[in-house]
Amino acid sequence: MIPFSPEIVAYQKAEYANKLLYIATLTLAKLSIISLLMILTASNLHRKLGWGLTALIALWGIITESFAVFQCGAKRPWQFIGEDAYCLGMTEFWRSFSALNMLTDLCLILYPVHVLFNLQMTMRKKITIVGFFGTRSL
114 vs 33, higher pLDDT: 33
pLDDT at 40: 80
Cβ-Cβ contacts under 8 Å for 46 (sequence gap 6 or more): 38, 114, 115
What band does 100 get if pLDDT is binned at 50, 70 and 90? Answer: very high
pLDDT at 87: 77
Q: How far is CA 118 from CA 46, 93, 104, 113, in A?
A: 10, 38, 22, 9
Q: Is the pLDDT of residue 136 over 70?
A: no
For 5-53, how does the pLDDT look when each residue is reduced to its tens digit (9 = 90+)?
A: 888 888 888 988 999 999 999 999 999 989 988 888 878 888 999 999 9
* Pairwise CA distance, residues 133 & 108, whole Å: 8
Burial class of residue 108 in the structure, from the number of CB atoms within 10 Å of its CB (0-12 exposed, 13-18 middle, 19+ buried): buried
For 57-90, how does the pLDDT look when each residue is reduced to its tens digit (9 = 90+)?
A: 999 999 999 998 988 877 777 877 777 777 788 8
Q: Is the full-model pTM beyond 0.85?
A: no
